Amino acid sequence: MVVIWALVGVAVVGVVVYSLFVRRHGEATRPDADWTPTDEVFHDPSTNRVMRVWVDTAGQRHYVPSESG
């Protein structure tokens, strides 16, 4: 039983560490050529970055760090 809990603990720690290095849903390092910037800009408190919202031709939203931030 202790081995199972140890494996679960290692798995949880692994997922947390992995999540620190992957982008969030909709986040990109730079906009694609067919994306259009919106007027929406927000401060992401978890990364302390200013993010701009971009929209692609399908209407999907993408979040890109603002150069003016």
Whether pLDDT at 69 is above 60: no
Q: Looking at the 3D structure of the chain, how many domains does it have?
A: 1
- Residue 15 is encoded by which pair of tokens? 């997922």
Residue 63 placed within a domain: yes
Residue 19 placed within a domain: no
> For residue 1, what pLDDT is reported?
86
Q: What is each CA distance from 30 to 36, 51, 52, 66, 69, in whole angstroms?
A: 12, 11, 10, 9, 14
Residue 67 placed within a domain: yes
Tell me: the pLDDT tens digits for 9-50?
Answer: 898 887 766 665 555 666 778 899 999 999 999 998 888 999
Tell me: the pLDDT tens digits for 41-61?
Answer: 999 888 899 999 999 999 999
Residue 15 placed within a domain: no
Residue 14 placed within a domain: no
